[in-house]
Amino acid sequence: MKFYTAQHKYYCGIDLHTKQMYVCILDQLGKVIIHKNIKATAECFKPLIERYKEDLVVAVECMFTWYWVADFCAEEEIPFVLGHALYMKAIHGGKAKNDKIDSHKIATLLRGGLFPQAYVYPRKMRSTRDLLRRRTHLMRKQSEMKAHVTNTLSQYNVPSLGSSLKYKFTREEAKKLFKDQSVPKAIDLDTELIGHYKKELESVERYIEKYAKDHDYHSIMILQSIPGIGRILSLVILYEIHDINRFPSVQNFASYARLVKCRKESAGKIYGTSGAKIGNAHLKWAFSEAIPLMMRGMHIPVTLTT
């Protein structure tokens, strides 16, 4: 866990929502200078902080609407800090909770050097990373359709089509085995969706590869030279890491990728593990896919232990 410890003259905590935001600005002594609910727009926020932006730091909790605040602060050359949602227990664990209280707590944590940081992903690559994550979501939906076809065939004891599912002739032959026409209709529905997913996924992948080469072609080539890592996995790893130098050690990176379990211990007693959801789920998936592919390609035998 990293805390923001830099000192400033003014500290701005924002409880951010889609349409509104509660802004709290504290001075060095902790005195409330501004505590106000405004519209969540740059036009409303800019005049509010104009007098204090000479030595101001802005902080928000990590949630899906933080992009525009980070971009605004970058344009105005104001330090911006993104709060790690799972570490901000001082906000979520209070007896009373509302936007006004939360904004004050964010500003107080920031002023006290106890504000847990999350990584502020740079604007240049952010939208392409989000598109790549959307591609992963759609790929899983396509896999659900394929699995449903296989399960339907299994229900009626029909041999699985396997990889030949993509051929129209094979699907037509399989449908002749059913007397009830509702079953072929269900298979048609799934296969039509699979076809649409396939077309859109190929288009998205071509687009991402084109822009990824502009961002960091050298890193992509290095990643693809590793056994088990191909086109898609190299893109996922590149965009989820962005800059490997932001991790001070191998241990920090392994923890971020959810490849290690953190032990809960007190007074010499071990109480299991914790923090399973802290880290990057996309990186964990990428490495979980890469390792079996690497072992298969290098013909490494797998030994199961109990």
Q: Is residue 305 part of a domain?
A: no
Distance CA(266)–CA(273), nearest Å, equals: 12
Q: pLDDT in tens for each of the 306 residues of the chain? A: 789 999 999 999 999 999 999 999 999 999 999 999 999 999 999 999 999 989 999 999 988 899 999 999 999 999 999 999 888 877 777 778 899 999 999 999 999 999 999 999 999 899 999 999 999 999 999 999 888 888 888 888 877 666 666 667 766 777 777 777 888 888 888 888 888 999 999 999 999 988 888 888 888 999 999 999 999 999 999 999 999 999 999 999 999 999 888 888 887 788 877 777 788 999 999 999 998 888 887 766 656 554
Say whether both 66 and 102 belong to one domain: yes
Say whether both 134 and 107 belong to one domain: no
Q: What residues make up the domain containing 164?
A: 123-239
Say whether both 133 and 229 belong to one domain: yes
Give the residue from 83, 118, 153 where a domain finishes. 118
Say whether both 184 and 289 belong to one domain: no
Q: Is residue 303 part of a domain?
A: no
Say whether both 218 and 277 belong to one domain: no
Distance CA(160)–CA(208), nearest Å, equals: 33
Domain count, the chain: 3
Distance CA(289)–CA(299), nearest Å, equals: 16
Give the residue from 63, 96, 118 where a domain finishes. 118
Q: With contact defined as beta carbons under 8 Å apart, do 13 and 61 qualify?
A: no
Distance CA(176)–CA(72), nearest Å, equals: 61
Q: Is residue 306 part of a domain?
A: no
**Which CATH number is 109's domain given?**
3.30.420.40
Say whether both 109 and 170 belong to one domain: no
